[in-house]
Structure 1
Amino acid sequence: MGRHGSASVPQDAARDVVLSHASGPTLAVGLPSGETADAAQTVMDGVVAFDNNDGSTTVPIVKDGASVQILTIVHDATAPERYRYELDVPVGSRLQQEASGAIVVLTAAGALVGGVAPPWAYDATGAPVPTRFEIEGTSFTQVVEHLAPETTYPVVADPFLGVAMVSSYRWETSTRILVTPTAWARAVYPGNVAGAPIAGNPGFDELRAKQTSSTYRNRLGASARNQYICHVAGAPLTSTWNPETNRADKGYLGFIASGCN
């Protein structure tokens, strides 16, 4: 297992993709058409594809930071518009859908287990295809409305699942830490001021847990936490997030108003 955790893809579509956090619970997801899909076929080194035998193909791709992108390739109009994913989550956990369309998995106590970034789908010309997630219990379905006359095949859609928030960090000075978030951390709450604390708090806890020195760990206090959460909402595309531990704490909304520092 890596510093953040790991993601593994099966050779049998009836088995789960497994995301393991380095310091948290495991999240597993079943592939669509798992009982009827063919065995894995190697596309390139480290990448396999499952022919679903229904006009679609599933291609799970392991990404950085204990995350996986499960591409669905819709080849033609014979393919279904609904692709169901069953999650194996800790007992008592629930799925919650955010305004962006993202899904977060929360324990009974409200702690973040992991989640799914907002859905997208595009046809062969790059035109967006209407898509959404629907939740039922501990499963979610991606609906891909590809049957419109203007659709040019193939269509590609993807649930992007992750469990880790921090890819790496470096102390630039004794009071300024540069944090590189995982791709999933960037994708889950961009622009969502109200929702960002759901992912930001466990992300900051993960950052603190990664510190090898108690001196630096103790510097990551309330001010740094609120700056970090602000970056989750307000700076998803910046290369690093840069909490400054010597800043007076303005509160989360105070840092939102001042650009996160």
Structure 2
Amino acid sequence: MQENDQEGRTAESAASKIQEAVNAAGQNDAAVITPESAVGGVVTSSVRSGTVEITKDGSDASAVLNGGEDGLPISLGLPTAEDAKDARVSADGTTIFTDPNGLVDVGVQTLNDGAVRALTVINNSEAPVEYEYQIDVEAGVVLEPAHGGAILFKGRDGSSEGAILPAWAVDANGSPVKTHYVITGRTVTQVIEHKAEGVAYPVVADPKVYYAWWQLFTWSEWRWNGDYRMNQLSIALSAWGRHDVIFNAGQFLTSGWNLLRQKHSSWIFTDSMRQQWECHVLGGLAEWGTFDLEYERPSNPNWRSRIGSVWPLSATCNW
């Protein structure tokens, strides 16, 4: 009983370090959800159309991500120590694999925007600098490096079916630690340069994986705007959606719009809403993370002429 209590305290300590690092790195835009069950050998979580199943076997840990009908099934092998303890679920919902040697603990979180975040907690300088994630994905899908240090899952038709967002790492002081990915076939290695001078331990690093188109948005819903006295479709972009707006706006212009039309009745989408969408995505003046498309705004095919001529800038897409 004492050993189990100690393992529990170690898991909670690792989860606490992870949360501190997530906050310090500005990666707290999506909340951790609590797993539905942790019975048998699997920790299971559900979020919207997706499911995540994490094996509890510390020596051969993996996470199976399934985005549903519009998703990409992925098995993600985790870089746990060979003799890592079997997983425990911490109070905040993080699945933790602790290293009995105290070098590297591994945590996995399912977030409310659908993403899965895998985190290494590097406790001292004796730990490795490279961490391999073995990725098992359906035939025809390839991993390609993308702008900003991200990795895209590309389908046979060349479209992006998922993404691993750019790597990040911070030390115990919240200072960034240099890190990047290396792709070798279907293995993604995160290189974390934690042995540099001045790094304070523990160091926490993560890949964040999106595996379904619906994860471009955290949510989308119709609302009544009392100021404008009209209905609007409000959309919160996920971290993947924001990354695409910055680095892949041309594709996001189509993929995001198609996703909205799939989720909501397509007949309600007006010419003006499409123009507002283009303005937010391409005009460079989008509210950071949230778009509002008002249903009853008149059509304005010349909306581009408003860029730089309307004040405040936030009003550019509201004509």
**With structure 2 as the length reference, what TM-score do the two structures score?**
0.68
Structure 1 residues 151 and 2: alpha-carbon distance in aligned structure 2, compared to 1, 3 A threshold: closer
Tell me which of 246, 256, 260 is aligned to 1:191.
Answer: 246
Corresponding residue for residue 292 of structure 2 = 242
Aligned identity (percent) is 28
Corresponding residue for residue 162 of structure 1 = 210
Partner-residue secondary structure (3-state), 2:147: coil
Superposed counterparts of 1:56-75, under 5 Å: 56-75=104-123
Cα separation, 2, equivalents of 1:255 and 1:46? 48
Partner-residue secondary structure (3-state), 2:55: coil
Corresponding residue for residue 44 of structure 1 = 91
Cα separation, 1, equivalents of 2:52 and 2:305? 34
Shift of 1:67: 0.8
Q: Is the 8 A contact 2:94 2:108 kept in 1?
A: yes
Tell me which of 275, 284, 293 is aligned to 1:223.
Answer: 275
Aligned-partner residue type, residue 291 of structure 2 = W
Aligned-partner residue type, residue 282 of structure 2 = C
Aligned-partner residue type, residue 150 of structure 1 = G
Corresponding residue for residue 201 of structure 1 = 254
How many residues were matched structurally? Answer: 253
- Structure with the larger helix share: 2
Corresponding residue for residue 50 of structure 2 = 5
Structure 1 residues 56 and 82: alpha-carbon distance in aligned structure 2, compared to 1, 3 A threshold: same
More deviation, 115-124/19-28: 19-28
Aligned-partner residue type, residue 110 of structure 1 = G
More deviation, 50-59/111-120: 50-59
Q: Is the 8 A contact 2:80 2:97 kept in 1?
A: no
Q: For 1:111-156, what per-residue CA distance to the aligned partner results, in whole angstroms no more than 9, with x for missing partners?
A: 2211111111111111111111111112211110000121110001
Tell me which of 67, 72, 86 is aligned to 1:21.
Answer: 67
Cα separation, 2, equivalents of 1:120 and 1:183? 13
Q: For 1:85-114, what per-residue CA distance to the aligned partner results, in whole angstroms no more than 9, with x for missing partners?
A: 122223111112223111111102022211
Structure 1 residues 149 and 116: alpha-carbon distance in aligned structure 2, compared to 1, 3 A threshold: same
**With structure 1 as the length reference, what TM-score do the two structures score?**
0.81
Tell me which of 263, 266, 284 is aligned to 1:210.
Answer: 263
Structure 1, unmatched stretches of 5+, are none
